[in-house]
Chain A
Amino acid sequence: MKQLYYDIKKCLGCKSCEIACALAHSLTQSILTAIKEEKLSLPRKKILYSKGKNYPVSCRHCKDPKCVDACMAHALVYNKEKGIVEHDESRCVGCWMCVMVCPYGAIRPNIKTKIPLRCDKCKDKDEPACVRACPTGAIIWQEEVVVDNKK
Chain B
Amino acid sequence: MKKFVIIGNSAAGISAAEEIRRRDKDAAITMISSEDYTAYCRCLISYYLAKDIKEEKIVLRPQSFYKDNNIELILDKEVTRVDPKKNRIICADKKQVEYDALLIASGASPKFPDIKGVKRKGVFGFRTIKDIREIESLLTVAKAACVLGGGLVGLKAAYALKKRGLEVKVIIKSQHVLSQVLDAAAAGLVEQQLTGNAIELIKGHDAIEIIGEGDVRAVKLDSGKALESGLIIVAKGVAANMNLVRESGIALNQGILVNDMLATNIPNIYAAGDVTESLDITLNKPNVNALWPVAVEQGRIAGANIAQAGLKYDGSLGMNSIEFFGLPVVSLGVYKTDANDPSYEVLQKSDPGQKVYKKFVIKDNVLIGAILAGKIHNSGIFLRLMREKINILSVKERFFADDFGYPEIRDIVREEEKIYL
Contact = CB atoms under 8 A, between A and B. Distances in A.
Interface of A: 3-8, 46, 48-50, 53, 55, 57, 60, 66, 69-70, 72-74, 90-91, 93-97, 99-109, 111, 140, 145, 147, 149-150
A111 B44 CA distance: 18
A90 B57 contact: yes
A108 B42 CA distance: 24
B384 interface: yes
- B319, B419, B420 pick with most chain A CB within 10 angstroms: B419
A100 B321 contact: yes
B313 interface: no
B333 to A, nearest CB: 12
14 contacts: A4-B419, A55-B407, A57-B407, A72-B41, A96-B328, A97-B293, A99-B330, A99-B376, A99-B377, A100-B319, A100-B383, A103-B380, A106-B380, A147-B418
B408 interface: yes
Nearest to B385: A103
Given A73-B41, A74-B41, A49 B403 contact: yes
Contact of B420 (A8, A73, A97): A8
Nearest to A50: B407
B351 to A, nearest CB: 16
Interface in B292-334: 292-293, 296-297, 300, 319-321, 323, 326, 328, 330, 332
A69 B296 CA distance: 6
A72 B378 contact: no
Main secondary structure of the interface of B (DSSP, over half): mixed
Given A103-B413, A105-B380, A109-B377, 19 more contacts: A5-B420, A6-B419, A8-B420, A48-B407, A50-B407, A55-B407, A60-B418, A66-B293, A69-B300, A73-B57, A74-B41, A91-B57, A93-B47, A96-B321, A96-B328, A97-B293, A99-B379, A103-B384, A105-B405
B384 A74 contact: no
Contacts of B380: 66, 99-107
A140 B421 contact: yes
B43 interface: yes
Contact of A95 (B323, B383, B406): B323
B53 A48 contact: no
A69 B319 CA distance: 13
Contact of A49 (B61, B320, B407, B418): B407
Contacts of B44: 72-73, 93
A106 to B, nearest CB: 7
Interface in B358-390: 376-381, 383-384
B403 A48 contact: yes
A101 B319 contact: yes
Contacts of B326: 111
Interface residues of B, number: 47
A111 B151 CA distance: 22
Interface of B: 11, 15, 41-44, 47, 52-53, 57, 59-61, 292-293, 296-297, 300, 319-321, 323, 326, 328, 330, 332, 376-381, 383-384, 403-408, 410, 413, 416, 418-421
Contacts of A91: 53, 57
A97 B41 CA distance: 13
A76 to B, nearest CB: 11
A46 B323 CA distance: 24
Contacts of A111: 326, 328
B363 to A, nearest CB: 21
A67 to B, nearest CB: 8
Report, nearest first, the 5 A-B pairs whose CB atoms are least far apart.
Answer: A102-B380, A50-B407, A70-B293, A72-B43, A55-B407
A97 B378 contact: no
Contacts of A4: 419
A5 B52 contact: no
A33 to B, nearest CB: 26
A57 B408 CA distance: 12
Contacts of A95: 43, 321, 323
Nearest to A48: B405
Nearest to B408: A50
Nearest to B298: A69
A9 to B, nearest CB: 8
B321 A99 contact: yes
Nearest to B388: A103
A72 B323 CA distance: 14
Nearest to A102: B380
A132 to B, nearest CB: 18
Contacts of A100: 319-321, 330, 332, 376, 379-380, 383
Contact of A72 (B292, B319, B379): B292
Nearest to B296: A69
A95 B292 CA distance: 12
A94 B138 CA distance: 28
A97 B410 CA distance: 22
